[in-house]
Structure 1
Amino acid sequence: MQVKEMEREFGLMVITPKEVSTAYNELAKSFSGKTKPTKIPSIGEVEAYHRGRRDGERIDYLKQTIDDDITDFS
């Protein structure tokens, strides 16, 4: 009984088509096996990012934030 239950629950198998395996193996030949170095941003870059994001979130795009002296945008 338990075996039949497991066959119903786990009976699905995923089979990779031969074409996919062949194509992947060809593609894998170009892998160098070396990872690319990760560039860690400087403290200044991180701070500038957060400051810019914070400033951008505070912008109010309503007319009250636009300078009334500007009349021509060309």
Structure 2
Amino acid sequence: MQRQEDETYLGRTVFKVIGHKQDYEITFFSKRGKEWDYSLHFANESGDEDELLAVDARIEEDDEWFDRLLDAAMDTLPGEE
């Protein structure tokens, strides 16, 4: 995760889903660190589109799962000086 000079945040998390062949990457963006937009895609190479859509649906429906993915990205944010 990086905080830009204009105070926006941009970060990503690569993760696996049990039973899926491909890894996923979720990219997070926020203007002030309160409301987050995201983009989900395959991390390395293309995979099953239905699996990707199922993961996206779970992210939309499961706030706890979304928060864990976001927390993983936030854990890489360099300390403020």
Provide TM-score, normalisation by structure 2: 0.21
TM-score calculated relative to the size of structure 1: 0.23
**Greater relative contact order: 1 or 2 (C-alpha under 8 angstroms, separation 6 or more)?**
2
More strand by percentage: 2
User: Which has the higher Rg, Structure 1 or Structure 2?
Assistant: 1
User: Counting helix residues as a fraction of each chain, which structure ranks higher?
Assistant: 1
